[in-house]
Structure 1
Amino acid sequence: MSALYRHNDAVKPASAPYGFEVTLEASPDAVCAALGHIRAELARHRLSKENLEVIELVMAETLNNVVEHAYAGAPQAGLIGVRGTYSGEDLRLRITDIGKPMPGFTLPAGKPFKRHEIADVLPEGGFGWGLIRLLSCNLAYSRMGDMNLLTLRIPLAAG
């Protein structure tokens, strides 16, 4: 795999949150590799399959949006930074890039739907921000100079 992908994870004492940091190229291959790494790292903390799937879905939607929109039309792939803190009750994420800003410098609303409507027959596309909003909370976006900063929290189900 030629996509740039590196990580720097430091496991802290059991009483403190676990943290990880990943820097990846804004490409589909690098997103896939980073998601695999993050899922494997979090699985070591005995998260349930459901929690791992929710985390992977939210992160995949978020990172792919950066690739497809923030860096759209860029002459070469830029970088995406991901910092996560897992405390057992939630996963807090900080995602940065230096691509294009969000339109209007605000988070998209996303297509609304209810959790029980996530089924076999959703049409392709347009549901990313709706899913992100449904499965996470405390979403915040800001533009600091050239950098986009997205923070969010994914509450984790017990078990």
Structure 2
Amino acid sequence: MSHRSRIEERIDSTAESVRNALKRTTRALAERGACPREIESTEVVLAELMNNVVEHAYLGQPGRSICLRVDILDDSLSCHVVDDGLALPGLAPPPVHRHDFNVDLEDLPEGGFGWTLIQDLTCELGYVRSNGQNHVSFCICRNRTA
């Protein structure tokens, strides 16, 4: 697993900053040769994670920082998101919850899909709370042939 390239940035804790960071990151991934599936999966997972930071870890408070790093490796896109907001409940990502869609329209769930989507799109997912910071890491597997 050789290191090919790294994308790093620190952004403000606002929805607009997250959107702009996602645009820059997807553009940088494309410029560095990531395929559309890898870019789309990375964008979806980063969007879920960073928007969760803005909404839940920072409770919508602007002026806080989110650090993002993406290492482009031969076999994966290795991503790391760090914030100093509130910890994840239970100090772990929530378990995968499969919803029952065979219910009446008014009984369909309105949310709770984010972490399941994250876990479905990643080949590795980790969370650590250390020194007052949340560290979420994940990998998007690359389907490369030699």
Corresponding residue number in structure 1 for 2:14: 27
TM-score normalised to structure 2 length = 0.84
Q: What do the CA deviations read for 1:29-87 (whole angstroms, capped 9, x no partner)?
A: 0000000000010101222222211111111111111111101164x431100111011
1:99 paired residue among 85, 99, 109: 85
Percentage of identical aligned residues: 34
Instruction: Output the aligned Cα RMSD.
Output: 2.1
Pairing 1:157–2:118 present:
no
Q: Following the alignment from structure 2 to structure 1, what is the Cα–Cα distance between the partners of residues 53 and 24?
A: 19
Contact 2:54–2:60 at 8 Å: present in 1 too? no
**Pairing 1:14-93 to 2, within 5 Å after superposition:** 16-72=3-59, 74=61, 76-93=62-79
Unmatched runs of 5 consecutive residues or more in structure 1: 1-14, 114-121
TM-score normalised to structure 1 length = 0.77
Aligned length: 136
Distance change (3 Å), C-alpha of 1:24 and 1:106: same
SS in 2 for 1:151: strand
Relative contact order (alpha carbons < 8 A, sep ≥ 6): 1 or 2 greater?
A: 2
Unmatched runs of 5 consecutive residues or more in structure 2: 100-107
Q: Following the alignment from structure 2 to structure 1, what is the Cα–Cα distance between the partners of residues 13 and 94?
A: 20
Deviation at 1:141, TM superposition (A): 0.9
Deviation at 1:123, TM superposition (A): 6.3
